[in-house]
Amino acid sequence: MKMSFRWYGEGNDEVSLPFIKQIPGVEGIVWSLHDMPAGEVWSEERILAEKELIEKQGFHIDVVESVNVHEDIKLGLLSRDKYIDNYIETLKRLAKVGVKVVCYNFMPVFDWTRTELYKEMEDGSNALFFEKSKISDIEPIDLIEKLSKNVSVTMPGWEPERLSQLKETFKKYEGFTAEDLWENLQYFLERVIPVCEEHDIKMGIHPDDPAFPIFGLPRIIINKENIVRFLNLVDSPYNGLSLCTGSLGSSDNDIPDIIDEVHDRIHFIHIRNVKRFDNGDFIESSHRACDGSVDIIKVIQTLHKHDYQGYVRPDHGRHIWGEEKWARPGYGLYDRALGIMYILGAWDNLQAQKNGEQVAI
Ligand code: CS2
Ligand code: MN
């Protein structure tokens, strides 16, 4: 596996590239142009400037997360073709500078959703929390307003231009079903994947987070059955997954079993743990298997069994050692760095066993 780390860009991330450099094992930066509105073509100058900045620190730029999909594409509006053309142009420009994988999602309206960004834990750390009952009694707009009061940065999926149109966007989704979303996803893939094949750039869809419908909006990338259906929409290695153990772990998915089934279509993995409660709540925990509901060790063993050669990054981390004062929710430095050491510790141990076995033969 190739270890990487998500970075939000100069002036947009309190964690610096030189600090990331000090985490053992990180080879690449997972990057994006976070201020680009969904649907616009990314400028070549900006892409090149980002590439230069990241490569100067000795990291590769192989993975972009995300190139956001315009809402009209998800809704299947007439205007979608123009936005798909723009998406394709951005993909070509990224392929030209050597990007290998693009992580994206196809969730209506929101990216990931939580009800608290700074839930205090007994040990003094804090973490992203989802309280199911809170989602049922609150309007989405009120939830976002409440959450964004304490955050000074723009969270993925909460870009100002998207939020300002939240009410209208919700209206457009009235009566919209999961089957409509499947159809529109297929339409998108049928146009985009042939270009990916030609330009050698792979698409990896990110599972929906949480992995169940919220606010009456459909969510489809949520379990094994749907992931298999998704991969068959366009049966090409370029139509793949960014498997996220935390997102799929928000409901009762057997993630090692999913990896067994679709490992050859996984291009990128987010590894993190979540602890689920019986009432449907969940909290993001440390990466350690015994701290959450996802058996992270088994996930790593399964990847190793299939000789996973793709990209990986720790996903969200808790805020620890006081970093909630400066780091963006889910994306502090310390817990993600600890997560990397846990993942690499497990991986190196499996490698050592494998090498030992080979020597013994
Ligand atoms: C990420 C997602 O922070 C996160 O939870 O895993 O925001 C992810 O970047 C997007 O869904 C991919 O488009
Ligand atoms: Mn993720």
**244 belongs to the catalytic site:** yes
Residue 214: exposed, middle, or buried by beta-carbon count in 10 A (0-12, 13-18, 19+)? Answer: buried
Determine the 3-state secondary structure of 297 from DSSP.
Answer: helix
Q: Does domain 2-355 have CATH number 3.20.20.150?
A: yes
Please, how many CA atoms are within 13 Å of residue 225, restricted to the half-sphere of its CB? Answer: 1
Q: What percent of the chain has pLDDT over 90?
A: 84
Q: Which ligand is closest in space to the CA of residue 245?
A: 2
- Read off the pLDDT of residues 190-249 as tens digits, 9 standing for 90 and up: 999 999 999 999 999 999 999 998 888 999 999 999 999 999 999 999 999 999 999 999
Residue 87, pLDDT score: 98
Dihedrals φ, ψ of 294, to 5°? Answer: -100, 130
Closest residue by Cα to atom 6, ligand 1, is 315
Give the residues of the chain that fall short of pLDDT 70. 152-158, 359-361
- Read off the pLDDT of residues 36-56 as tens digits, 9 standing for 90 and up: 999 999 999 999 999 999 999
The model carries a pTM of 0.95
């939830």: which residue's tokens? 143
H or E segment at 187?
Answer: helix 178-199
Which one from 244, 267, 308, 319 is the annotated catalytic residue? 244
**206 belongs to the catalytic site:** yes
Residue 244, pLDDT score: 98
Residue 357, pLDDT score: 79
Which residues have C-beta under 5 Å from ligand 2, the single-atom ion?
Answer: 244, 270, 315
CA 313 to chain CA mean position, Å: 10
- Read off the pLDDT of residues 170-197 as tens digits, 9 standing for 90 and up: 899 999 999 999 999 999 999 999 999 9
For the CA of 330, the nearest atom of ligand 1? 3
Packing angle between helix 255-262 and helix 296-305, nearest 10 degrees? 20
Q: What span, in angstroms and rounded, lies between the C-alpha atoms of 168 and 76?
A: 16
